Amino acid sequence: MNKVGVLTGGGDCPGLNAVIRAVVRRAAQNSVKVVGIKNGWKGLVDLDTADLSVDSVSGILTKGGTILGTSRTNPYKQPEDVKKVIDNYKKLGLDALIAIGGEDTLGVANKLFKENKGIKVVGCPKTIDNDLNATDYTFGFDTAVNIAMEAIDRLHTTAESHHRIMVVEVMGRHAGWIALHSGLATGSDVILIPEVKIDLDEVCDILKKRHARGKGFSIVVVAEGAQFKAGQVVTQEERLDSFGHVRLGGIGEILAQEIEKRTKFETRVTVLGHIQRGGTPTAFDRFLATRFGVKAMDLVLAGKFGYMASLRGTEVTEEPIEKAVGTLKTVDMKLYELAKTFFG
């Protein structure tokens, strides 16, 4: 094993740089060179790379985002791009490739590995949504939850002062893990997730009963991918990205309008958006990302291709990449029922 490539694809999140640093440090211990692929799969299509060394990754542990850049490029959208990826992998003289990403990035990695025996791939799971299967947690999630928690804590005081209902829209396309954790951690009065259709009558009834008890304010946390019982996802635009995803957003505004119309309580909305992705990672995410980076490099050195680093309980182990990308990990309904204990 002489040369390994590493890329970060999909949405950025805190902890990516910690993984890159760990991969480079572990590789250096074993006299392996590391090539950084810039901007996800786009870097392998365009042959855009940078050599990484212990010096070049010094000081990046605490930084959010990714020093390699990222994109949502899907080489399988264009057959010629897949050929470019394979040709450039060989041109770079790579013995293996570590792909750091979520469902889409790892989906491409898995497909490349399955279809092209010469492409040796190891995965590293990343997503703030925590919706990847085959791992208990992904790095980036803890930071996103803590950012949402702090924002909701701050909104509590202004909601109470103005006797308002505050609707807080957090990220979560198909899974409501951020909404569930941040909502429960802040004592929010209603938590709405993509896994359960929104019943406006039920939501407004909870809020009315709370106000009848003398509580003059309420906090409602809603995931961006939540849907009303009648159907139809609220989207910012109908255009799809290269992986076929609709750009979400706007559910909080519609929800706030409906709540105010039905309850007559003054209602405001705050959309946290990309704030949840940004900034320095928490200690948990730095620690987990570092362990994942070391594990990914160890999998390369052991020749365990087609696998990814995974957290099971407190142990970092490995799982086949294909187990992570087949189906999304959605919220456990037992946990949601627990959360409903505190609604209102």
- Reading the block at residue 327, the tokens are 């189906």
Q: Compute the 3-state secondary structure of the chain and give helix, strand, coil in percent, each to the nearest 5.
A: 40, 20, 35
The residue to which tokens 């209602």 are assigned: 267
- List, in order, residues 6 or more apart from 147 with CB less than 8 Å away: 272, 275, 276, 278, 279
3-state secondary structure of 295: helix
Asked if 46 is an active-site residue, the reply is: no
The residue from 81, 104, 129, 142 that is catalytic is 129
- List, in order, residues 6 or more apart from 291 with CB less than 8 Å away: 22, 309, 311, 316
Query: What does the chain come to in residues?
Result: 344
- List, in order, residues 6 or more apart from 177 with CB less than 8 Å away: 129, 130, 131, 141, 331
The residue to which tokens 């450039």 are assigned: 88
Are residues 270 and 166 in contact, defined by beta-carbon separation less than 8 angstroms?
yes
Distances (CA, A) of 172 to 37, 141, 144, 196, 247: 28, 11, 11, 13, 12
Distances (CA, A) of 341 to 168, 192, 275, 334, 335: 20, 14, 29, 11, 10
Q: Which residues are catalytic?
A: 129
